[in-house]
Amino acid sequence: MTTKNNTLFSRRDLLTLIGKTAGGGAMYQAMTSLGFAAESNYNGPPKLDGAKKGASVLVLGAGLAGMAAALELRNAGYSVKVLEFSNRAGGRCWTLRGGDTFTELGGAVQQCGFAKGEYFNPGPWRIPYHHHAVLGYCKRLGVALEPFVQVNYNALVHSSKAYGGKPQRYRHVQADYQGYVAELLGKATTQGNLDAALTKEDKEKLLEGLRRWGALDTQFRYLEGTVSSDRRGYEVDAGGGLMPLAKPSKPLDMSELLQSNLWRYIASGQDYEFQSAIFQPVGGMDMIAKAFQKEVGSLIRYGAKVTKIEQNDRGVTVTYTDASKGGAVTQAKADWCLCTIPLSVLSQIDIQVGSAMQEAINAVPYGASVKVGLQFKRRFWEEDEHIYGGISYTDLPISRISYPSTRYGAKGKSVVLGAYVFDGPNSYEFTAMAPEERVRRAVEFGTQLHPQYASEFDNGISVGWHRVPGTHGCYGIWTDETRQKHYKNLCQVDGRIALAGEHASYIPAWQEGALLSSLDAIQRLHARAVA
């Protein structure tokens, strides 16, 4: 793999060219415009020049952090070996398909009964447009991407305590909340309440904007009619020929809407993390893992359970049991070690590092989220309700239902994310259940949003992250306090050992954090190795 990311180089070339051919004004224009792209800490694959001949690195863990390190270090000339606890590459970059077996801590075994082509991502499931490292590797390794529909205006928002438990349409809540906000602000503005905060000119522009943005009438009112219905949708849509005329829909009552709390769900698609464009790999998140595996799979030893990590001033020795040798205690040696084992597990392993790093390793608890994948006999959300991809939200423990952002309109069985339980008590309760009980509960709760569940449910599978062997949790939970006290100590190279993974990043729970942490760590390890 010799592909190079030329982004920076090409940009510099381009700027020079523009400067030469179009003069300074265009040059400035170009720089400020292109400068938009400079927000990320990712600047393409690391430059690891001058590796010493024969220098070796032992990578612990074959998740994305471990495999990216293996790829870059191998390309830089290092002798690389990867030890992986499980019999699968990818770590939390993981997809379950029909025929897969999953045995969780506690021994419960699930056989995935999904139809051919259907899948469920128990771990990460989305790639924001600004996760440049993940996108960069996808491009470099040929992983095809498709849009993840984060916001679906026709999906549902549901509160068991509002509207008699009847789900509402996202578009109704979104349009009406924004409409009432605009109407109220229009009222305060026209009444002169904000004259201290706004100049006359700004007031005029604000009112002009509120009318369009809030779908208000000429009197700055949010009312039933075509203006609001062009936003929230119609009671009867416009048609063709002599079909019945369009009929505007009636906005929700303002007070009832405010008291419903359903407005909680309408800002998430505006969050930087979830803004459009946001992607998923075609065919499942583990297409990324498989692409890395294609590059470095030959370097990975599976079924290697690390029990001890030792170092001295000449190298690192890792002791592990080798499943392929009946669990025989084995040792691997290298000049350097990059350890990507989750802290939830690493804190239980004997590792020879200073007390600062050891304390950091012990300081980070892991999230307990639970996901449930549900297969239905048909895409009733598309066929009956015209919901194509996207997410419905609820205050029930399942928190949301995410419809497949792929193969729209396909006939036959289809899998949704039927629960993503991540608040404390509910996630612990779900983790404690037997897998089939989690599935049963997800179906039971989901029926409150989609009564079709009752007749269309086919089969399901559940993953409680505290019960996933080799991970023992979903992601490292940092607080401001633990960040301040331990983060740097966790990330510093300790002798010949460096740590990486989402836990060693400021982007916890995201693959981007794992990759950036890995790229940063190997650059510092490399600097030490060539010093």
**Subset of 313-352 contacting a second copy (CB under 8 A):** none
Binding pattern to a second copy, positions 401-430, x when CB under 8 A? ----x--xx---------------------
User: Using the rule CB under 8 A, is 383 a contact of a second copy?
Assistant: yes
Hey, which residues between 209 and 248 contact a second copy (CB under 8 A)? 209-210, 212-213, 229-246
Among 171, 413, 438, 486, which residue sits at the site for a second copy (rule: CB under 8 A)?
Answer: 171
Contacting range for a second copy; rule: CB under 8 A; set: 72-80, 84-92, 190-198, 305-313? 190-198
CA dist 182 and 212 (Å) reads 10
Determine the 3-state secondary structure of 332 from DSSP.
strand
- From edge to edge, which strands make up the β-sheet containing 127-128? 127-128, 278-281, 145-147
How far is the C-alpha of 91 from the C-alpha of 123, rounded, in Å?
9
Give the helix/strand (H/E) hosting 358. helix 355-362
Question: Where does this chain touch a second copy (CB under 8 A) — which range of 96-104, 137-145, 325-333, 346-354?
Answer: 137-145
Among 500, 509, 526, 529, indicate the residue that binds a second copy (CB under 8 A): 500
Q: Which stretch binds a second copy (CB under 8 A): 29-37, 56-64, 363-371, 464-472?
A: 29-37
Cα–Cα distance between 27 and 6 in angstroms, integer? 20
Subset of 450-469 contacting a second copy (CB under 8 A): 450-452, 454-455
Stretch that binds a second copy, among 95-103, 172-180, 217-225, 300-308 (CB under 8 A): 172-180
What does residue 259 show for φ and ψ, rounded to 5 degrees?
-75, -15
By CB under 8 A, tell whether 360 contacts a second copy: no
Return the residue of 100, 388, 395, 440 that touches a second copy, per CB under 8 A.
Answer: 388
User: Is residue 9 at the binding interface for a second copy, with CB under 8 A as the rule?
Assistant: no
For residue 153, count other CB atoms closer than 10 A to its CB.
18
Report if residue 395 touches a second copy, rule: CB under 8 A. Answer: no
CA atoms within 13 A on the CB side of 407: 19
Q: Which tokens hold the place of 392?
A: 């419905």
Residue 386 binds a second copy, judged by CB under 8 A? yes
Among the listed residues 9, 12, 41, 423, the single contact to a second copy using CB under 8 A: 41
Q: What are phi and psi of 16, to 5 degrees?
A: -60, -45
List CB contacts of 484: < 8 A, sequence separation 6 or more.
Answer: none
Min CB(62)–a second copy separation in Å: 18
**For a second copy, the closer CB: 82 or 151:** 151
**Residues belonging to the chain:** 531
Which of 106, 161, 190, 273 contacts a second copy by CB under 8 A? Answer: 273
Pick out residues in 250-269 that bind a second copy (CB under 8 A): 254-255, 258-259, 261, 263-264, 266-267
Distance separating alpha carbons of residues 217 and 523, to the nearest angstrom: 59
Assess 30 for contact with a second copy (CB under 8 A). Answer: yes
Task: Look up tokens 């598309």; give the residue.
Answer: 382
Q: Count CB atoms within 10 A of the CB of residue 117.
A: 16
- 2 interacts with a second copy by CB under 8 A: no
Q: Give the separation between CA 228 and CA 222, rounded to whole angstroms.
A: 7
Closest to 430 in 3D by CA, of 409, 140, 316, 421: 421
- Name the residue type at position 6: N
Answer for which of 76, 517, 526, 529 binds a second copy (CB under 8 A) is 517
* Near a second copy by CB under 8 A: residue from 4, 52, 161, 166: 166
Cα separation, 154 vs 399, in Å, equals: 17
- According to the binding rule CB under 8 A, does residue 515 interact with a second copy? yes
Instruction: Compute the distance between CA of residue 285 and CA of residue 402 in angstroms, rounded to an integer.
Output: 15
C-beta of 412: minimal distance to a second copy in Å? 12
Select the residue interacting with a second copy from 277, 328, 434, 527 (CB under 8 A).
277
Out of 175, 309, 368, 468, point to the residue binding a second copy (CB under 8 A): 175
Identify residues 60-89 at the interface with a second copy (CB under 8 A): none
The C-alpha atoms of residue 362 and residue 254 are separated, in whole angstroms, by 49
Single residue of 23, 29, 99, 350 touching a second copy by CB under 8 A: 29
169 binds a second copy (CB under 8 A): yes
Q: Answer whether the bond into residue 498 is a cis peptide, omega within 30°.
A: no
Q: What is the CA radius of gyration of the chain?
A: 27
Taking the complex as a whole, the smallest distance from the CB of residue 78 to a second copy amounts, in Å, to 18
